[in-house]
Structure 1
Amino acid sequence: MPRSKRDKKISLTKTDRKGLAWKQRIIEDIKFCVGKYPNIFVFQVQNMRNNLLKDLRQEWKRNSRFIFGKNRIMQIGLGRTKSEEVETDLHKLSKRLTGQVGLLFTEKSKEEVLEWAENYWAVEYARSGFKATETVVLPAGPLEEFAHSMEPHLRSLGMPTKLEKGIVTIYSDYTVCEEGKVLTPEQARILKLLGKPMAQFRLTMKCSWTKSGGFQLHVDDDINDETLADSAMEEDEAFEDNNSDDD
């Protein structure tokens, strides 16, 4: 009789990992995009959401390309110093690839992109660590929007709930969060269950580079563009040597 495959176990040691080939592909993609697109932006993400970034990639795919990956890999693609850079002054973009940032390669004009970024935002649910933008208080009484099966879960999140005649009910006033205070994981889950988004997904254009105009800074910082990043290169190479199995 053939052996059942329903409970077949797969060793995690056999799964693929993002190694040198994956890193090299990102680097080559960036170099290709530098040659293809006339304008490049370094953007910073507020309240990152993968699904919204995926939507933007789909919306802009006709004449643009978003690349969002490990900063040090993107830095290598652009060139971290004057001697490495693919085009003049691209190392200035590379220096600003810090934090939660990405690259936008586009055929759209600089003015068009900056205006779009200024006005674009999407409402999202806040995560733990986010500061509440308002105070939310639930008065004692029934919560008819929740099925009776949700009551144990609501109680586990700290809400003073019980079932009364099959209806989820709060038996005392409950403050979910207070304006200006950092949300806990439980508070963030409750706000999502209540359908109360508090965060905004936004992109801020830190700086840009155009083939016709070169580098331009759009958000002030304390980076010295005249100083080469040789020390940073040495530190990064040492990091790679010591952590070659981590990626």
Structure 2
Amino acid sequence: MPRSKRNRAITLSNVTKKDKETKTKNFDNLSDNLLKFKRVILLNLSNINSNNLKELRKQWDNEDLEEENKSKLVVSKKNMIIKNFDNYKEEFVNLNKLNQKLKNQHEKNATYGILYTNYDYKTVVDFFESYVKKDFAKSNSKSPISFTIPGGIVYSRGGFINQEDDIPMAHSLEPTLRNKYKIPTSLKDGKIVLDTEYFVCEQNETLNVTQCLILRQFGIAESEYRVEVMAAYDKETQDLC
């Protein structure tokens, strides 16, 4: 009897990786922009989320701008950028110094980007110095505030705003606070209550996962996220900033 197709074994252990063609395209993209634009700006993008990154791409990758105002933001692997710049170290004096700056970075899981642009260096720096986004805190980041949940009825913002501007937290969330976050809450007359205040975190304290989740639960998005301008190379003057 022929073997049923339904009984055919399917392995789930194989993971599709970026093929050589994709990597080559990424490498060529770095090269094309290096030759096209006047300045190369090295950015550390580790401190922003994917939505911020999309916003930055939209602002910089604008094809409708005149040639002198065009730019291209490329996010790539650290080793890919290093390898690409190594290919042009003889053609562009001092580009190797920019590359060395990247080689000296040992931050784990860091995300780097290259902004290829015709804007002058000061314009780029001024833009990123003013680019500050507030969002929920990430694990292992510094707490933006000191936060303690007051005793009594638990409100949706946990005392972060004035009580008269807040509403009691929904009673259905009580098991989440008690079981998931280990906050000693209870239900009284259909409202979540705390017998005493509950300390969550101190300002500038390194946050763990649970503390971040508690801050998120109470809608506290006060952490500031920025882009670090690490260095810049000007092809016309051969200067490194």
Q: TM-score range by the shorter chain?
A: 0.7 to 0.9
Pairs within 5 Å for 1:40-51? 40-45=40-45, 47-51=47-51
Instruction: State the shift of 1:113 in Å.
Output: 0.5
Aligned to 2:97: 92
Residues 1:214 and 1:30: Cα distance change in structure 2 (over 3 Å): same
Over residues 224-246 of structure 1, what are the superposed CA-to-partner deviations in whole Å (9 max), with x where a residue is unaligned? xxxxxxxxxxxxxxxxxxxxxxx
The farther-off stretch of 128-137 and 185-194 is 128-137
Q: Which residue does 1:132 correspond to in 2?
A: 143
Q: TM-score, normalised by structure 2?
A: 0.77
Q: Which runs of 5+ in 2 are unaligned?
A: 1-8, 63-69, 157-168
Match of 1:73 in 2: 80
Which runs of 5 or more residues in structure 1 are unaligned? 1-8, 218-247
Shift of 1:49: 1.3
- Kindly report which structure 2 residues correspond to 1:184-195, keeping only aligned pairs within 5 A, or say none: 184-195=208-219
Match of 2:154 among 143, 153, 161: 143
CA distance in 2, matches of 1:10, 1:143: 51
Q: C-alpha deviations, 1:25-74, integer Å up to 9, x for none?
A: 21110000012221110012352312211111112111222222210011
Cα RMSD for the two superposed structures = 2.3
2:54 match: secondary structure: helix
Note if contact 1:126-1:197 (Cα within 8 Å) is conserved in structure 2: yes
Aligned pair partner of 1:109 in 114, 120, 145 = 120
Does residue 182 in structure 1 map to residue 206 in structure 2?
A: yes
Size of the aligned set, in residue pairs, is 208
Local SS of the residue matching 2:228 = strand
- Structure 1 residues 86-95 or 100-109, which shifts more? 86-95
Q: Give the 3 Å change call, closer, same or farther, for CA 60–11 of structure 1 in structure 2.
A: farther
- Identity value in percent: 25
The TM-score, its normalising length taken from structure 1, stands at 0.75
CA distance in 1, matches of 2:80, 2:191: 54
- The correspondence of residues 1-247 of structure 1 with structure 2, limited to 5 A, is 11-13=11-13, 15-45=15-45, 47-62=47-62, 63-79=70-86, 82-83=89-90, 87-97=92-102, 98=105, 99=107, 100=110, 101-145=112-156, 146-155=169-178, 156-217=180-241
